[in-house]
Amino acid sequence: MDTLSQELFDEISKIPCVNSHSHISPEIDRIAEAPDALAFFKHAYPASDLVSAGMTNEQMKTALEPGLPLAERWTIFEPYFRFTRLTGYSQCIIEGFRDLLGFSDLTAETVEPISDALREHSKPGFYHEVLQRRSNIALTVINMEDLIEVDRTLFLPLPRLNRFSMLHSADQVQAIEKDYDVSITNLAEHVEVIRQVCRDWKRATVAGVKMSQSYHRCMDFTARQKEDAARVFDGLMRGEYAGLESEEGVLLEDYLVFECCRAASDADLTIQFHQGIRAGNYGSMEGCTPAPLTELFQAFREARFDLSHAGYPYLREGAVLGKTFSNVYLNMSWIHIISPIGSRLDLREWFQMVPYNKIIAFGDDLQHVEAVYGHLKMARQNFAIALAEMIREGLVSESLVLDVAQAAFHDNPAKVYGVSD
């Protein structure tokens, strides 16, 4: 960063961040896990880069899991890491090791000292140290399948409605009956359970609800007739159902997604969709673009739709939705490490295209707090560099760019998720 960018980065770092998307495990579990430096690369993101570079599943298991001495594991890991060390996925890990543990790089000479330092600093209370004091994160939104309790001084839950909207069989409905102590014999009763769950989650103070349909389909939900959906649901309960991916499965899922959005909107819960590339390797891109969601956005104009990952790589399509729909927010979770430079370029376009109260700057989408720190540092750098360019071009004043950063890192997500200071 040049001098102006560095000055902006320093000021942006003083803004408490509302972290919009995370998968951080409980501190007690992390301490028990005691990961070494190479275990950080087991996470789906850096692991997918290693696979892309040619590492086999057998090599990954041997290199990234405990067993062999670290030095031997490094010899398996390094030939592939050398090709992935420049990617955002690797850089956020290295940034965390650098600033939090004092090691400038991950090498054959530092892999064991870094691992020792990780075990040394992983003690009760270190989440508060890393997330709050070092990272200046006010609160982190935690994704989860069903609502579970979390440390509310650090985290805010975001449970999923996937199990209610993506039905595979009657067994899944029976599991819902057991877990929620309800009886479901028809579609109307299933929808009422969804509505009650949303009301209960609202009372429990959650950030919103999450749905992840884009991992298995295009996001072209369309309104369906209740009678048609009820017929399919009745068949599912009788064991006469061709499955989620069938034509009747798509019909039922369309109907249930609309009902989930209706229930969440009525309960005043933000609706977060995974919208963008899928984690891992060899995945389809059919669900990446957010453009087909327009019918849903039009149907629920009073709802708040959070496009998590903003439709990457279709960020321009996401920007059009953020520009033209008052109920659509662009969430930059994950994309700062998918493509750091791409994020800066898109920020430049967004700033001059989308009202900046629609931009959510950061969500780590990771598991280890050290990598969260590194990711947030990269996000702040991206904003600083993009905003410095606008200052140099005479498009904006320095005082205004700090207002933009304050909105994107704190005020906008705080409003969307109901966070009060």
For residue range 351-369, what is the model confidence (pLDDT) as tens digits?
Answer: 999 999 999 999 999 999 9
- Choosing from 121, 140, 166, the residue where a domain stops is 121
421: confidence class by pLDDT, cuts 50, 70, 90: low
1 pLDDT exceeds 90? no
Residues 84 and 136 grouped into a single domain: no
Close Cβ partners of 410 (under 8 Å, ≥ 6 residues apart): 15, 16, 17, 18, 138
**Residue 39 is assigned to a structural domain of this protein:** yes
Domain that holds residue 201: 127-417
Residues 164 and 47 grouped into a single domain: no
Residues 230-245, mean pLDDT to the nearest whole number: 96
Residues 229 and 336 grouped into a single domain: yes
pTM: 0.96
Residues 105 and 191 grouped into a single domain: no
Residues 194 and 295 grouped into a single domain: yes
Domain count, the chain: 2
Residues 97 and 189 grouped into a single domain: no
Residues 181 and 286 grouped into a single domain: yes
In whole angstroms, what is the distance from residue 113 CA to residue 157 CA?
A: 35
Identify any residues that bridge with 140 across adjacent strands, giving them in sequence order: 19, 155
Residues 190-212, mean pLDDT to the nearest whole number: 97
- Choosing from 121, 137, 160, the residue where a domain stops is 121
**Residue 375 is assigned to a structural domain of this protein:** yes
Q: What is the pLDDT of the chain when averaged over all its residues?
A: 96
List strands edge to edge, sheet with 271-276.
Answer: 209-211, 271-276, 305-312, 328-331, 359-360
Residues 81 and 133 grouped into a single domain: no
List strands edge to edge, sheet with 137-144.
Answer: 17-22, 137-144, 155-159
48 pLDDT exceeds 90? yes
**Residue 23 is assigned to a structural domain of this protein:** no
**Residue 12 is assigned to a structural domain of this protein:** no
Amino acid 420: pLDDT:
82
**Residue 24 is assigned to a structural domain of this protein:** no
Residues 298 and 193 grouped into a single domain: yes
**Residue 3 is assigned to a structural domain of this protein:** no
189 pLDDT exceeds 80? yes
Residues 114 and 136 grouped into a single domain: no
Residues 156-169, mean pLDDT to the nearest whole number: 97
Residues 378 and 410 grouped into a single domain: yes
Residues 66 and 148 grouped into a single domain: no
The CATH number given to whatever domain includes residue 248 is 3.20.20.140
DSSP-H helix ranges across 283-339: 294-299, 315-324, 335-338
- Choosing from 87, 121, 155, the residue where a domain stops is 121
**Residue 146 is assigned to a structural domain of this protein:** yes
